[in-house]
Structure 1
């Protein structure tokens, strides 16, 4: 539906990134995205409109990536970006803020009844760097997920909210 890779492809690509980390010392960042209040979009406007929002967010997530980046739909209204050679928190924060600026917006679309509607869409984002934040890829996902929920909870969108372990 979103033309993005799925969870199975993510698992495979994560193994590739992890192998490069162990073999060549190449760090990578994992960034999780979750659409805020997506259930209320579905409940208010219907699942067809929710599907369009998922498609539009997916297309915006693909914008301004490097060829080596990997974007997938993780499940439901969650997406993941894996980007190699990220070693500094400042660079991770810059990527997060750039994605936030691209995605957080008022989306204009036609409803199933063919009327033009506007829906405010925002995302919670959490990231982690493999060489800094975690000792395994699974722990990296957990750190990024925790940071995403901190972002969702705070809604302050301060990059200083990135949790370190």
Structure 2
């Protein structure tokens, strides 16, 4: 069962995905709010310190890897921060399944962008999804986050 911070985190993910669609940016205050909501959640369910430390270590490791990808020009800075915040929520045990879901969602988002550019570029929503503006990977990260947070049957733990 998801608690109030979890539902709030899902709402923040929705705001992040809509912002990424519109502006191809993930605002730091929203990403920070998503991370802070994990701290509220961890406190509200009395998460053991050992689990908390493991989740924080996983998030730091993910940030380090993401920073390397960002430095190589392969991933946006906001995407790195959001992925790290997602890792804070799922921990090491949920990282791989979550990233499989994020990757599948990213593929769908990219294909939608390409299809929009090819078949319906004149429609009003086409600019939001256009792959010419880049792939809004925050949408894929949000989908992976929703799968991790909402139906806990998608991921272990």
Normalising by structure 1, we get a TM-score of: 0.33
Higher strand share: 1
Q: TM-score, normalised by structure 2?
A: 0.34
Q: Which one has a larger percent helix, Structure 1 or Structure 2?
A: 2
